[in-house]
Amino acid sequence: MSGTGNGKMKDCGETPLTRPAARRGSYVADGWSGREEFRARVVEWAGKLGVDAKSIFIRPMSRKWASCSTAGTLSFNDELLDLPQELGDYVIVHELLHVAVPNHGKLWKSLMRAHLGEYDKMEDRLKLHYFQSSRVRHT
């Protein structure tokens, strides 16, 4: 595991959480059937991208959608299970690419576009999805 010199795992990237918490158990027509399906998708994408995903965790995270280490440890917010699969794929690919490319520079953007097409629209949908959910929850 890659260290930072202070005993903590070096974070190679993260997908920030930019919305209020999702309602657990909400129904999404094209969502995930559970943790194992999501984990299998991470493994599938890791194979496509040539990334060695050594450990995959799905757990509550209060500030971000996901994070990864340069050693191949990936953590995903369990609220992703409530999202449509296309948006989950966006977060999965985003993090897997950070294992090799730790920033959002030209290379990372080119790889995102090569694998997901207009990924920026997915990012916008991710923000919109939760903007709408938060309006429903707070009214």
20 φ/ψ sector (left φ>0, alpha ψ -120 to 50, else beta): beta
Q: What is the pLDDT of residues 10-61, one digit of tens each?
A: 445 555 554 433 434 444 457 899 999 999 999 999 999 999 999 999 999 8
Instruction: Determine the 3-state secondary structure of 15 from DSSP.
Output: strand
Interval 97-118: pLDDT, tens: 999 898 999 999 999 999 999 9
Pair 62, 17: CB distance under 8 Å:
yes
Mean pLDDT calculated for residue range 83-92: 94
* Residue 61: closest CA among 33, 91, 87: 91
Provide the residue ranges of all domains of the chain, joining segments of one domain with +: 30-137
What's the whole-model pTM score?
A: 0.76
CATH of domain 30-137: 3.30.2010.10
What is the structure's pLDDT at 61? Answer: 86
Q: What local confidence, expressed as pLDDT, does residue 12 receive?
A: 55
Residue 7 pLDDT > 50: no
The span from the CA of 61 to the CA of 67, in Å, is 10
